[in-house]
């Protein structure tokens, strides 16, 4: 690609820069970065320092009110046949409560599987994964379908081995209707076997949802222009692990991109936002979208998932303009980038896409279905290869730079076409179950 001397030098420095690893080390050493917690507030300060060190201007924190869900003790005890206790963890926004009931295995937790069995007054047990020939079914949809069918509680079983009970939010900011917990694959194997024998359990969850405060960390570079490109990544994480992959890698990738872009001459200004409370309902990006003029955002680039694994995936959310930018940068750098046009609502681009802003989500995965180490105790720094962080940071910077060119147009998304794309991707049932389907799409 055609790079100015300053940008070429910044790109060159990125390949050997040790700052991304130092930043990840500092971030993951903080402990819990759960949304609206003291740990998240400390992490915001760490990100603000990294933005300033990268050369960004007007670095500041933007606080906002947010529900703070707090995890207490969880007990899951088999009462028949036999008596034994299993490790379980409450899922965010699970209410406190005690439930005694019969286990019922609902397989993958698809709506069809839940409808095919009687879950009324029972404890539904569902896998974290979905069949390879099925559309993606989010945790929120599985929980919502089970609760609507009358389940008294919900058990989410990790499909990844290693005694790793998974976590993950049940709603986008509201306390859920019934208790829900995550258990390991190994525990799930026992529970499904006991369910076939008419087994029963006692489940007790201690948790609370209280008023709290989160914050977004904002900064900018480039000229003051009527419109700008927004680069965003969430810095919060679940409280059960270090959040190194989800989304320590993504926010570190954003810092790498910031350092490259701070050295660039840009036609259009670029704004940066490290957002809080993504894991508990996209609350930081929703606040950012509500307090922004969508007409002033030329495009949003979301780095949730970047830097985790080797090859980059560019999710373009129906925008031909951002797809073309991703392909142009991939071809110009001879770096593999897989472009996927299908939209989804489960990350920080969604509050902007819903308002018609063209989007690009830069993600990476292991090639296997599911989160892998994410949302478990195993999401730790030793899983990180910071070469991926540096490389993806450079690619992200070059894509943002392309979008910030005056001669690159990024048309506003057509609401009708966007709605049809979500319907064609079969997201409507899951989004409605999770309360995400926009009212004006009814």
Return the pLDDT at 240.
96
> How far apart, in whole angstroms, are the C-alpha atoms of residue 196 and residue 41?
46
Whether residue 81 has a cis bond before it, omega within 30° of 0? yes
Best CATH choice for the domain 5-67+212-411 from the list 3.30.70.2740, 3.40.630.10, 3.40.50.1970, 3.40.50.300:
3.40.630.10
- In degrees, rounded to 5, the angle at the alpha carbon of residue 274 between the alpha carbons of residues 368 and 37 is 90
Contact 436, 281 (CB under 8 A): no
> Which pLDDT band, with edges at 50, 70 and 90, does 141 fall under?
very high
**Regarding predicted confidence, which is higher, 283 or 5?**
283
**pLDDT tens-digit map of 279-305:** 999 999 999 999 999 999 999 999 999
Q: The pTM is what?
A: 0.96
Q: Where are the beta strands (DSSP E) in 184-334?
A: 200-221, 228-234, 269-275, 297-302, 312-315
> How far apart, in whole angstroms, are the C-alpha atoms of residue 59 and residue 272?
9
Task: Tell me the H-state helices in 154-310.
Answer: 185-196, 250-262, 283-290
Per-residue pLDDT averaged across 257-265, rounded?
Answer: 97
> How far apart, in whole angstroms, are the C-alpha atoms of residue 366 and residue 161?
16
Structure-block tokens of residue 58:
């007007």
Bridge-based pairing of strands 312-315 and 180-183 is: unpaired
Return the pLDDT at 249.
98
Does the pLDDT of residue 403 top 80, yes or no? yes
Instruction: In the chain, list all ranges with CATH 3.50.30.30.
Output: 82-198
- How many Cα atoms are found within 13 Å in the side-chain-facing hemisphere of 385? 11
> Hey, is 12 helix, strand or coil?
helix
Nearest alpha-carbon partner for 335 in 351, 315, 314: 314
309 Cα distance to chain centroid: 15
> Which pLDDT band, with edges at 50, 70 and 90, does 132 fall under?
confident
**pLDDT tens-digit map of 353-365:** 999 999 999 999 8
H or E stretch covering 402: helix 386-403
Does the pLDDT of residue 366 top 90, yes or no? no
Does the pLDDT of residue 317 top 80, yes or no? yes
**pLDDT tens-digit map of 57-91:** 999 999 999 999 999 999 999 999 999 999 999 99
> Residue 11 region, left (φ>0) first, then alpha (ψ -120 to 50), else beta?
alpha
Return the pLDDT at 343.
95
Does the pLDDT of residue 143 top 70, yes or no? yes
- In degrees, rounded to 5, the angle at the alpha carbon of residue 108 between the alpha carbons of residues 117 and 383 is 155
> Which residue has 């194997």 as its token pair?
189
Nearest alpha-carbon partner for 302 in 348, 241, 355: 348
Task: Find the Cα–Cα–Cα–Cα dihedral 324, 328, 334, 339, rounded to 10°.
Answer: -10
Q: What percent of the chain is modeled with pLDDT above 70?
A: 99
Give the CATH class of 82-198: alpha beta
Per-residue pLDDT averaged across 322-328, rounded?
Answer: 98
Q: Name the least confident of 50-54, 204-208, 268-272, 342-346.
A: 342-346
Return the pLDDT at 369.
64
Instruction: In the chain, list all ranges with CATH 3.40.630.10.
Output: 5-67+212-411
Bridge-based pairing of strands 97-105 and 89-90 is: unpaired
Contact 368, 308 (CB under 8 A): no
**Regarding predicted confidence, which is higher, 386 or 430?**
386
> How far apart, in whole angstroms, are the C-alpha atoms of residue 269 and residue 224?
6
- The chain-wide mean pLDDT, for the chain, equals 96
> Which pLDDT band, with edges at 50, 70 and 90, does 372 fall under?
confident
Q: What residues have CB less than 8 Å from 185, skipping those under 6 apart?
A: 157, 158, 159, 160, 161, 162, 164
Per-residue pLDDT averaged across 155-161, rounded?
Answer: 97
Return the pLDDT at 359.
98
Return the pLDDT at 131.
83
């Amino acid at each position: 690609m055609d790079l100015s001397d300053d940008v070429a030098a910044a790109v060159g420095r990125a390949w050997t820069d040790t700052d991304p690893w130092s930043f990840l080390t500092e971030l993951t050493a903080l402990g819990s970065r759960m949304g609206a917690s003291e740990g998240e507030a400390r992490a915001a300060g760490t990100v603000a320092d990294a933005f300033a060190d990268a050369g960004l201007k007007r670095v500041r924190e933007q606080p906002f009110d947010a529900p703070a869900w707090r995890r207490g003790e969880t007990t899951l005890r088999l009462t028949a046949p036999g008596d034994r206790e299993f490790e379980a963890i409450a899922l965010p926004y699970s209410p406190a409560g005690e439930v005694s009931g019969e286990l019922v295995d609902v397989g993958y937790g698809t709506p069809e599987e839940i409808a095919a069995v009687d879950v009324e007054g029972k404890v539904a047990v569902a896998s974290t994964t979905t069949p390879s020939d099925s559309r993606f079914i989010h945790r929120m949809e599985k929980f919502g379908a089970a609760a609507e069918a009358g389940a008294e509680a919900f058990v989410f079983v990790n499909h990844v081995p290693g005694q790793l009970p998974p976590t993950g939010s049940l709603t986008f900011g509201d306390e859920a209707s019934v208790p829900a917990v995550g258990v390991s694959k190994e525990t799930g194997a026992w529970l499904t076997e006991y369910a076939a024998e008419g087994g029963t359990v006692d489940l007790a969850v201690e948790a609370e949802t209280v008023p709290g405060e989160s914050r977004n960390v904002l900064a900018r570079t480039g000229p003051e222009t009527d419109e700008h490109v927004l680069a965003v990544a969430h810095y919060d994480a679940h409280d059960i692990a270090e959040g190194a992959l989800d989304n320590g890698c993504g926010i570190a990738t954003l810092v790498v991109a910031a350092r490259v872009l701070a050295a660039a001459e840009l036609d259009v200004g670029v704004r940066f936002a490290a957002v809080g409370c993504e894991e508990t309902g996209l609350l930081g990006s929703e606040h950012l979208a509500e307090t922004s003029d969508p007409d002033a955002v030329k495009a949003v680039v979301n780095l949730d998932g970047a830097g985790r694994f080797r090859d980059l995936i560019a999710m373009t959310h129906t925008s031909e303009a951002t797809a073309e930018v991703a392909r142009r940068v991939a071809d110009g750098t001879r770096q593999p980038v897989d472009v996927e046009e299908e939209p989804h609502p489960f990350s920080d681009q969604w509050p902007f896409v819903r308002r018609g802003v063209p989007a690009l989500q830069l993600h990476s995965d292991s090639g296997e279905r599911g989160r892998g180490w994410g949302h478990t105790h195993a999401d730790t720094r030793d899983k990180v290869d910071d070469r991926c962080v540096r490389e993806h940071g450079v690619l992200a910077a070059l894509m943002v730079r392309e979008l910030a060119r005056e001669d690159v147009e990024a048309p506003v998304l057509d609401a009708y076409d966007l709605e049809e794309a979500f319907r064609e991707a079969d997201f409507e049932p899951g989004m409605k179950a999770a309360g995400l389907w926009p009212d004006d799409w009814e």
